[in-house]
Amino acid sequence: MAAPDISGVRAFLLGLQMRITDAIAAIDGQSFIADHWQKEPGEPLQGNGITKILEGGAVFERAGCGFSHVSGPKLPPSATQHRPELAGAPFEAMGVSLVFHPRNPYVPTVHMNVRMIAATPAGGGAPVCWFGGGMDLTPYYGFEDDVVHFHKTCRDALQPFGEDKYPRFKKWCDEYFYLKHRDEPRGVGGIFFDDFHELGPQRSFDMMQAVGDAFLKAYLPIVDMRRETTYGERERAFQLYRRGRYVEFNLVWDRGTHFGLQSGGRTESILMSMPPLASWAYQARVEPGTPEDRLYREFLVRRDWA
């Protein structure tokens, strides 16, 4: 599949990053720090990006939203496991990725990513490109209204691109954001897609844009609803314990983390998804009938939410 206009994709992604970080800063009352970076000559990857980070805010303990646009001499293994014909191919990749870790345990953590990769087969031939992305929600305390709203917003964003897209991408999300070593989901899911090009270059790009544009509509009403909820040491301790699962997934299973590290990406930007604090406890158990127990029984299970 031929690549769409690279400058158009880049402009959309930079605008998306700005819109999202401006909205989050307005809610938090603290501005993001913008770190403009450029890869040095001789490094495996060449390119540039902007990492925006907010730490120690009133609403968000850590919120990172990064844009990157890089090129490299050969695709790393994490990007070619479904495309063996592109092993060793030179590539260009750009995207926006974010993870927001709220301070209040009643506000869920959220992740969103949209990206494009273009590669030229090592043996020659026309460039091919594909898109990926999605968003998913990780609550510490479950509220059905929140999860239904998040999933309905995802469903509505995808509806113009085919009735099959939401159920297909929801299933993909459920399967992808799963801690196999724990036999449990990371959260309540959302949508996830990768290696996507079936609608052609422009329409596939349009779908990626629709997902990115839906993020604030999916997440901000939940933040507004839960940010003032009273909590204590018990809820904070459970939040930190569940954040440990987030760390485990990102380091052990996440293809995006692996892609960045394997290709020589910028480590500080790649690991901005990590929470500022997390904890682990040996064989921790929750008491039956508690809100913590309800999270496992009613929310960390595969359900049809929309």
d(CA 78, CA 160): 30
CB count within 10 Å of CB 143 equals: 16
Q: Which residues of 146-180 are buried (b: 16+ CB within 10 A; e: fewer)?
A: bbebbbebbbebbeebeeebbeebbebbbebbbee
d(CA 26, CA 20): 10
Q: Any catalytic annotation for residue 111?
A: yes
Per-position DSSP letters for 108-136, written without gaps between them: PEEEEEEEEEEE--TT----EEEEEEEEE
The single residue of 111, 149, 151, 258 carrying the catalytic annotation is 111
Angle 137-250-8 (CA atoms, 0-180°, nearest 5)?
Answer: 70
| Structure tokens, 75 | 């695709």
| Structure tokens, 33 | 């720090």
Which residues have CB under 8 Å from 19's CB, separation 6+?
A: 216
Return the active site residues: 111
